[in-house]
Structure formats: structure tokens, C-alpha cells
Amino acid sequence: MARNTGRPPIINAPPLVTALALTFLAAHGVRILLSEGLQNVLLWNTALIPDRFWGWVGASLPPGAAEPYSNVLSAIAPLFTISFVHSDWVHVGLNTAMLLGVGKPVYEYLGRACGGGARRISELFLFLFFLSVAGGSLAHLVANYPVGQPAIGASGGVSGLIAAVLLGQKGLRTPLLSRPFLTASMLFLVANLVLAFIGPAMLGAGIAWQAHVGGYVAGALIFRFMMWRLEGAEA
């Protein structure tokens, strides 16, 4: 019989959330072990590159722009694969730490709302997370039409979970236009605008703050829609 030592687990998050965080860490660890040539190939196919997307859509690109994507799959996939690629250990470490922190309450909110098993909750969580990633990717593309800096990282998905936490902590039926959520959303926007200005000096690289905001908005809309559908299913 196993003894209960009374010690809390090192990672106090649901298995799915922990597995997703470890996947991001492992993906970065594998990438930096590759040769420079292979890393460039990987980034070329998984990072979100506005020039390539808008060129594929048919926009007129200036000289020197990146080659457009060749087909639908290669153009759509980066909207999601962006989350598995990070610039360095600090970048992936911050995203995984935030994922573990906000992922747990969101997972619990979903479990409370759907009343289903782990598989159902996991499906809803992944749906919310990766559509938030895609929402952040689309926001970055719109803000960088027709050319702009590539974007990488899971920040859009994490931002979507932050929005879900802010909605869920006041009750699963909290409206999007409630004063507490709108106030928190304004603070989130201001924080990202500040990061956009001080990020290059502090981190030595630009911050795709539009992807953060896009992921946040997508997460809020999707989470509220999911709560509405789950409430309707229970009625």
C-alpha cells in the first residue's frame, strides 16, 4: 500500500495539460539539437510567415518577400504548428509555465460544465487551446499584411486560456460584456502594448503582441460559446 507523504505534486496540473507543456519543451529540445540547415527547414514549414501566406492568397508582394506557400495544407498548418516552435528556452519556459498555471482552472471549468469524463474534457480543452492559437495567428497575419516578421510560439493559445480563466472565475455564465471581464481585458491589452515597446530592449527580440490579443479574443469567444452549448445540452 502506497504511503501518503502529504507532499503536493511537483506539477499540480491535469495530465493533459502537463503532457501538452512537456510536448512543447520536448519539441524545442529536439529542434535545437538539429543542424542549422534542418532547423531552417523546420522553421520554414512550421513558423507563421506573413509573406508566404498572403502571397499564397494572391496579394501583391514587394521584391525580396518570402516565397508563397504552395498548397492549402502548407498555408493552413502554420496557423497551428506555430505553437510547437519557440525561439529559446526562456520563450518556451514562460509559455509552458503559463500553460500549467492557467490550464488547470480552465480544465476544471470545462469538467464542471460538461460533467463528462477525462476524454471529453480533454477534447474540449484542446479545441479551445488550438483554436485560440489559430485566432492569434490570424491576428498576426492581419496586422502584418502583406509582409512582416515571422511569428512562433504558443502565446496565442495561452492568451486564450487566460481569457477563459478571467471569464470562468466569476462564474461559468459570466457575459463577455461584464464590467470585471472588460476591465481585465483592457489591462491585458495595455500590458501587451507595453511589452510591444519594451520587449525588443528587454528580450532582444520583437513580441508578436497582436497574436496575444488575437488569441485572447478567440479564447474568450470560444469559451463563452462552449459554456452556452454545454448549458443548453444540460437543459
The answer to the question of residue 8 being in a domain is: no
The answer to the question of residue 3 being in a domain is: no
For position 173, what pLDDT does the model report?
84
**pTM: predicted TM-score of the whole model, two decimal places:** 0.92
Note if the bond before 146 is cis, omega within 30 degrees.
yes
State the residue range of the domain holding 103: 15-234
The answer to the question of residue 107 being in a domain is: yes
The answer to the question of residue 195 being in a domain is: yes
**Residue 235 pLDDT > 50:** no
HEC assignment per residue over 150-185: CECCCHHHHHHHHHHHHHHCCCCCCCCCCHHHHHHH
For position 200, what pLDDT does the model report?
67
For position 11, what pLDDT does the model report?
67
For residue 79, give the CATH number of its domain. 1.20.1540.10
The answer to the question of residue 183 being in a domain is: yes
The answer to the question of residue 9 being in a domain is: no
Q: How many other β-carbons are positioned within 10 Å of the β-carbon of residue 202?
A: 10
**Residue 6 pLDDT > 80:** no
- 126 pLDDT band, cuts 50/70/90, is very high
**Residue 150 pLDDT > 90:** yes
Look at the chain and report how many structural domains it folds into. 1
Who contacts 199 (Cβ-Cβ below 8 Å, separation ≥6)? 205, 206, 207, 209
For position 203, what pLDDT does the model report?
59
The answer to the question of residue 2 being in a domain is: no
Average pLDDT score, the chain: 91
Query: For the chain, what percentages of helix, strand and coil (3-state, to nearest 5) are there?
Result: 70, 0, 30
The answer to the question of residue 5 being in a domain is: no
Percent of the chain beyond pLDDT 70? Answer: 91
Nearest to 175 by CA among 91, 108, 231, 235: 231
**Residue 10 pLDDT > 80:** no
Give pLDDT tens digits for 15-63. Answer: 999 999 999 999 999 999 999 999 999 999 999 999 999 999 999 999 9
Give pLDDT tens digits for 178-227. Answer: 999 999 999 999 999 988 888 665 655 678 899 999 999 999 999 999 99
- 115 pLDDT band, cuts 50/70/90, is confident
**Residue 2 pLDDT > 50:** no
